[in-house]
Amino acid sequence: MQIRKRTIFDTPVIKPLIRWISLLILKSIGWKVVRDIPDTRKFILLAAPHTSNWDFVLVLLISFALNIKVYTMMKKEVLDWTCGSIFNWLGAIPVDRSRHGTMVEQVVRAFDRTENLVVVIAPEATRKKVKRWKTGFYHIAIGADIPIMLGFLDYRRKTGGIGRMIVPKGDMESEMIEIKAFYADITGKYSENMSR
């Protein structure tokens, strides 16, 4: 798994300019940002609900507004047929969904090798409605001994950011109920595609 060390979030002149532009864009489209960020350098940032390609744009804008360097897991196919180097500069991590079982270990190793890392994961793993969320994010958090931050995009209230922190203890069934309960009142762009 390749994680680019220097991304748009590390570019000296561009970073403050894009942060200012992000704040301006969010204000102009009426979005509010929840700024309650715990003091931790490594965590999984859930991005839910994920129902639109616009979610990626909003996650980037909100990340700049919050001044957080994020990496976003994306399916490899998107990076293959689009401007992959641009997405990599934006912090995309290519995910090969045909190879089962290795991604969790690769991401855990990436967390073990660095002091600062925030990885955004959409638990639905697609914009379409799914029967159940993928649980890789939970296993990564357990394996790397890091918290899970509940990031959200609520299109109904036009609010996004980080809602709360979960420190997983290994009881995945009850902790997934707790995580999903947080998202129960949050509306994605296309609510018909939301997975509960």
Tens digits of residue pLDDT in 108-149:
888 998 888 999 988 875 555 556 777 889 999 999 999 999
The structure's pTM equals 0.84
Q: What is the pLDDT of residue 45?
A: 93
Q: Are 103 and 95 in contact (CB under 8 A)?
A: yes
Residue of 145, 169, 155 whose CA lies nearest to 30? 155
- Average of per-residue pLDDT across 153-182: 92
Share of the chain above pLDDT 70, in %: 83
E strands, the chain, in order: 32-34, 42-48, 71-75, 92-95, 117-121, 148-154, 159-166
Tens digits of residue pLDDT in 86-103:
777 777 777 766 666 677
Residue of 168, 182, 171, 181 whose CA lies nearest to 137? 168
Decide the pairing of beta strands 32-34 and 92-95: unpaired
Q: Where are the domains of the chain?
A: 31-193
Whether domain 31-193 has CATH 3.40.50.720: no
Q: Give the mean pLDDT of the chain.
A: 83
Residues comprising the chain, all counted: 196
